[in-house]
Chains A and B, each alone.
Chain A
Amino acid sequence: MREAVREREFREFAEARQGQLRRSAYLLCGDWHQAQDLTQTTLMKLYASWGRVRRDGNVEAYARTILTRAFIDQYRKRSWREEPVDEVPEPASVEPVTPELRLVMQAALMELPPRYRAVLVLRFWEDWSVEQTAEALRVTPGTVKSQSARGLVRLRGLVEGLAGETSGR
């Protein structure tokens, strides 16, 4: 009985929020299929701790924290598994084929290191405070401030550079 209630509550939350979670995941990873996987991983972990999370309250923030940590862990594992190759493949996403603003923005965002990207998404997309972001990423508030400032500077530089490239064609 208690398990059924628990599952029903979780299903309601998951159905209502998985779209938003997927969009946040897409901003982090830049790929819809990977975003879907991240969303599923997030909801799976959320359900495993659903009782405690419900008691503590603020399920939304917990879900986004799981999502961001899962993204960073996944990226870290993937970078460990990377093997050196003889020829570096051409990065298709860095050079946009069409001079669209969206492609320039997305390419610039994907150029940022994953941690910077996570800080920018949490701070400016989710509207989280420095303290909330620091807790989610398990870093100090000072680190969040510095990474946020550096991320903004780099993003601006990348957008200007990419925009110059596309307009120069």
Chain B
Amino acid sequence: MSDGYGEHGQRGRYEEEGGSVRGAFEVILDGSREPVFPSVTDAAVVGGRRIRRRRTAVSGAAGVLVAAVLAAGVVAALPGGAGPDRSSVPMAPSSGRPSGSPSTSPSDSASGSPTGTAGPVAPRPSTVPSKQTAVPTPSALAPSGSVP
């Protein structure tokens, strides 16, 4: 814990040392023989103009670059822009089925026969001969000529 006296004492000593440093600086400068130099104002003006020109060129180039990037971003973000072609996405090929006749099973769509969902299922043609075809018809019995 420092008391006020200590702080003031320290500050006073510090200022005293600062004063002696300033005196040392004056001794250094007064004792040193400064050569006669030409004015640097003209050179500073020329150099300063060069710095400004370079700075302007760099900032202009940076501005153009930023504008180009922004323009490219805006064009890419537009729906009908020249970016990825979203409108020309290829459609899935049609299955050959007439529209409006949903199928009930994959087999139906494979056979290509239009079927309804609500109606009775139509009998399929079979290769096995049915019993009804084995019943003799009158035309078939005609050669024998025997009628019961």
Chain A positions near chain B (C-beta within 8 angstroms): 7, 10-11, 14-15, 18, 22-23, 26-27, 32-33, 36, 39-40, 43-48, 50, 100-102, 105-106, 109, 120-121, 123-125, 149, 152, 155-156, 159
Mark B90-104 against chain A: 1 for CB-CB distance below 8 A, else 0: 000000000000000
Q: Which residues on A sit within 8 Å (CB–CB) of B52? A: 48
- A44 near B51: Cβ-Cβ < 8 Å: yes
**Residues on the A chain within 8 Å of B24, using CB:** 105, 109, 155, 159
Quick check: A101 and B40 within 8 Å, CB to CB? no
**Is there contact, CB below 8 Å, between A7 and B45?**
yes
Question: Smallest CB–CB gap between A131 and chain B, Å?
Answer: 16
A15 touches B28 (CB 8 A): no
Are B32 and A106 in touch, CB under 8 angstroms?
yes
Which A residues touch B40, using CB under 8 A? 14, 18, 36, 39-40, 43
Measured between alpha carbons, how far is A7 from B37 in the docked complex, in Å?
22
Query: In the bound complex, how far is the Cα of B138 from the Cα of A145, in angstroms?
Result: 132
Closest Cβ–Cβ distance, residue B89 to chain A (whole Å): 55
Q: List 15 A-B contacts (CB under 8 A).
A: A10-B48, A14-B40, A15-B41, A18-B39, A18-B40, A32-B35, A39-B40, A45-B48, A48-B49, A50-B48, A102-B30, A121-B25, A152-B18, A155-B24, A159-B24
B residues 118-133 with Cβ under 8 Å of A?
A: none
Q: How far is the CB of B97 from chain A (nearest CB, A)?
A: 77
Interface of chain A, main secondary structure: helix
**Once the chains bind, are B31 and A18 in contact (CB under 8 Å)?**
no
Instruction: Please tell me which one of the listed residues B22, B34, B51 contacts residue A32 in the complex, with CB atoms under 8 A apart.
Output: B34
> Which B residues are CB-close (under 8 A) to A50?
48
Distance to closest chain B CB from A53 (angstroms): 11
Interface of B is mostly: helix
Known A-B contacts A36-B37, A102-B27, A105-B27; the reply to A26 vs B44 at CB < 8 A is no
**Contact A125:B22 (CB < 8 A) given known A46-B48, A101-B27:** yes
Question: Given A43-B40, A100-B31, A124-B18 in contact, is the A48-B51 Cβ separation under 8 Å?
Answer: yes
Q: Do A26 and B29 touch across chains, with their CB atoms under 8 A apart?
A: yes
Q: How far is the CA of A85 from the CA of B41 in the complex (A)?
A: 39
Give the chain B neighbours of A120 by CB distance below 8 A: 21
In the complex the two chains form, is B21's CB within 8 Å of A155's CB? Answer: yes
Minimal beta-carbon separation of B36 from chain A (angstroms) = 10
Complex interface: chain A residues within 8 A of B32 (CB): 26, 32, 102, 106
Report the minimum CB–CB distance from B28 to chain A (whole Å): 5
Q: Is the CB of A27 within 8 A of B25?
A: yes
